Structure 1
Amino acid sequence: MRNEASGSGRSEHRLMSLHDAAGLIRDAGAMLICAGAGMGVDSGLPDFRGTEGFWRAYPPYERLGLRFEELADPVHFADDPALAWGFYGHRLELYRRTVPHAGFGILRRWASERPTRVFTSNVDGQFQKAGFDRVAEVHGSIHHLQCLADCGQEIWPAGEVPAIDGETMRARDPLPACPSCGALARPNILMFGDWSWDPSRSGPDLQRLHEWIRAHRRELAVIEIGAGTAVPTVRKEAELATAATGALIRINVREPEVRHGRGIGIAAGAESTLRELDALVS
């Protein structure tokens, strides 16, 4: 009986959380969407959580004994560009093929009813594909490239993906090159231990976002989705933006707790939770 009562209590708590979150969305004069890797999981994208999760998504790297952190390192573009572009070229092609899940459409509809901005650590361009045009990408974008030689060429859109050997996960020539000097190109993404990332594209968007947050802080609701504590950039942004109001909705399968005590945590995935909220908001 205690187990049944406990389960019933959790269900009631969850329902209350959903109703409270729906109320925050309905009452919001402005909305900030903060998204981490968990936002894309329901679209079929890997979130690279832990070595085992990464290897399930990319079995060839398990055979090679390579972890995500080792591959997402800018040094490979200088030392082993075929390996580097094998990994990033495959991801670029994957993101180009991916269709954003229905939760993006729900957020887009809510955004049409109030001023809205997006802050994301994702580099996949899924928000833009779903129709959002005010997106601050704090870690850059895989859909844009920069010159490895830093010749002065401005960041440019990525073109054709190099062919990749499915067994070795190595890219074949020709590899993407700078249109000005012909040197090797790399994705305009902030990688691990990255001192050569060019922030000139992302920086102005982030500046404009923070100006917008200051202007709307008192009427702002923040929906944070799929952002973990391992790389806490998104969670910190969401908490700072709601410091004045506490109007934070944190949707996270594994880490829904709101540690500063002001906000609503929902332990579930992105798409299913957004569908439930939409039924209550409408």
Structure 2
Amino acid sequence: MIEEAYDRAAELIAGADAVLVCAGAGMGVDSGLPDFRGTEGFWRAYPPYERLGLKFEEIADPVHFADDPALAWGFYGHRLGLYRATVPHEGFAVLRSWSARIFTSNVDGQFQKAGFTDVAEVHGSIHHAQCVEPCTDEIWECSFDVTVDPETMRATGELPSCPSCGGLARPNILMFGDWGWVPHRSQRQLDELTAWRRNQRRLVVVEIGAGTAVPTVRRQAELASAANGALIRINVREPEVRHGRGVSLPVGALEALTALARRTA
């Protein structure tokens, strides 16, 4: 059954004029990144937050930048260091060989690290910062490092500041309940993707590691493939495709992409 699915997926890719990849957190798991699936998964990745009783949705909340900046930057500073140190797995190279365009909810910058230039980051990027207030809509690249105490997961020393007002800076990431996010960088990327899609007649969509808990990526993949049903869903836990409109591959990103690379070489 899986071999037939691989063959069908390879046919879709071979017959396409363009490939759109819609990627969620599952894309980075084979690079060693946590996907934060559920509270238990988050606490396995960050045990200090279990001791504090904090869930992912609670720590990934902009209110902490006002109430407890060291706690907020402890979480995001650790992730910034983690993503800088991570090497993208070989599946990224497979996608590059297909000249794929990227839509992702991931903020880790792994696609850019793997050499992609056309990436739409719908939730922003941890490698860019903005003012907490914000005093301006300026967005800048993170050239700073954040030192984090691994026992308490709190930032130590001087925290990143806004170059305009001198106040506290924060990552340019859309967080939970976030009314202060500056969206124009991501919106520009999304507008460019929309313009590109309009010119693609035979488009295949490869959705990777995108679950239903935060369905942003799934919605984009299903919308982009609605006209022709050329959807390839790669997902270990939630591989089902609605109404048979696409191909389901219930495996991880690297395994699926490696197998598809052999069939499309």
**What TM-score bracket applies, with the shorter chain setting the length?**
over 0.9
Corresponding letter in the other structure for 2:238: E
1: CA distance between counterparts of 2:146 and 2:84?
Answer: 14
Match in the other structure for 1:157: 141
Aligned residues between the structures: 265
Kindly state the Cα deviation for residue 141 of structure 1 after the two structures are TM-superposed.
0.2
Kindly state the Cα deviation for residue 260 of structure 1 after the two structures are TM-superposed.
3.7
1: CA distance between counterparts of 2:41 and 2:122?
Answer: 24
Three-state SS of the structure 2 residue aligned to 1:100 is coil
2: CA distance between counterparts of 1:162 and 1:260?
Answer: 47
- Within the alignment, does 1:248 sit opposite 2:236 as a pair? no
Corresponding letter in the other structure for 1:228: G
- Within the alignment, does 1:89 sit opposite 2:77 as a pair? yes
Q: Verify the 8 A CA contact 1:153 1:178 in the aligned structure 2.
A: no
For residue 22 of structure 1, the aligned residue among 10, 14, 22 is 10
2: CA distance between counterparts of 1:259 and 1:79?
Answer: 43
Kindly state the Cα deviation for residue 149 of structure 1 after the two structures are TM-superposed.
2.3
1: CA distance between counterparts of 2:51 and 2:91?
Answer: 35
Match in the other structure for 1:42: 30
Match in the other structure for 1:126: 110
Kindly state the Cα deviation for residue 166 of structure 1 after the two structures are TM-superposed.
1.1
Q: Verify the 8 A CA contact 1:252 1:268 in the aligned structure 2.
A: yes
Kindly state the Cα deviation for residue 211 of structure 1 after the two structures are TM-superposed.
1.6
For residue 57 of structure 2, the aligned residue among 69, 72, 89 is 69
Q: What's the CA shift string for 1:15-71, capped at 9, x where partnerless?
A: 000000001111110110100000000000000001111111111111111111110
2: CA distance between counterparts of 1:126 and 1:34?
Answer: 14
- Within the alignment, does 1:137 sit opposite 2:125 as a pair? no
Kindly state the Cα deviation for residue 261 of structure 1 after the two structures are TM-superposed.
2.3
Match in the other structure for 1:56: 44
Q: Verify the 8 A CA contact 1:153 1:180 in the aligned structure 2.
A: no
Show the 5 A alignment for 1:211-230: 211-216=195-200, 218-230=201-213
Q: Verify the 8 A CA contact 1:121 1:138 in the aligned structure 2.
A: yes
Segments ≥4 residues shifted beyond 3 Å: none
Corresponding letter in the other structure for 2:181: W
Q: What's the CA shift string for 1:145-204, capped at 9, x where partnerless?
A: 000122225100012222111111110120000011110000000000111110011101
Q: Verify the 8 A CA contact 2:133 2:180 in the aligned structure 1.
A: no
Q: What percent identity do the matched residue pairs reach?
A: 69
2: CA distance between counterparts of 1:27 and 1:86?
Answer: 47
Corresponding letter in the other structure for 1:255: E
Show the 5 A alignment for 1:182-197: 182-197=166-181
Corresponding letter in the other structure for 1:16: E
Three-state SS of the structure 2 residue aligned to 1:141 is strand
2: CA distance between counterparts of 1:121 and 1:153?
Answer: 21
1: CA distance between counterparts of 2:227 and 2:47?
Answer: 46
With normalisation by structure 2, the TM-score equals 0.98
2: CA distance between counterparts of 1:176 and 1:153?
Answer: 17
Q: What's the CA shift string for 1:221-255, capped at 9, x where partnerless?
A: 01100000000010110111111111000000000
Q: Verify the 8 A CA contact 1:32 1:220 in the aligned structure 2.
A: yes
Three-state SS of the structure 1 residue aligned to 2:148 is coil
Match in the other structure for 1:5: none
Match in the other structure for 1:181: 165
1: CA distance between counterparts of 2:219 and 2:106?
Answer: 15
2: CA distance between counterparts of 1:16 and 1:162?
Answer: 48
Match in the other structure for 2:259: 276
With normalisation by structure 1, the TM-score equals 0.92
Corresponding letter in the other structure for 2:247: I
- Within the alignment, does 1:265 sit opposite 2:248 as a pair? yes
